[in-house]
Structure 1
Amino acid sequence: MAHQRVKLIYPPGLVTQPVLAHLALDHRVMADIRRANVEDGTGWLVCELEGDAIDLTSGLAWLVEIGVEVESLGDVVES
């Protein structure tokens, strides 16, 4: 299994959509949410993604395709 820590920044219009559910069901990538902030029309999540390397690659490409900004993160110190 491959792991990648990312920050996902949602544009207006996607905040109310089940993006992570589609990522899990359609792309077989599980997301463990570490931090999040959702406000009117925008939001971001810091999460660790897990899946087969090929599924992770296609899942990340799909997120970008639908308009989610994906920032790859190194190790994040959580408090």
Structure 2
Amino acid sequence: MDKTTKTHRPPVDVKGAAVYSGFGEGYLNKLRCKGGGPIFIKKAGVVRYDLDDLDEWLEAGKRKSTSDTREVAA
């Protein structure tokens, strides 16, 4: 069996996601309502973010210049 072993990182709450990503809690809350933010988990009214999803979202936002207009996948 040749499987890539991933280290399990438990999901973080909005505050943890804000600290990890460098964006404010309010901004993440806004994106969660309007769209365009990282994928999130919601169970029993509690919001969590998987760190791998946050990493993907942050990577998708990378640009080489301000004139780089490629679309960012939400």
For the aligned pair, the TM-score class normalised by the smaller chain equals under 0.3
Q: Which has the higher helix share?
A: 2
TM-score (norm. length: structure 2): 0.27
Higher relative contact order (CA 8 A, sep 6+): 1
TM-score (norm. length: structure 1): 0.26
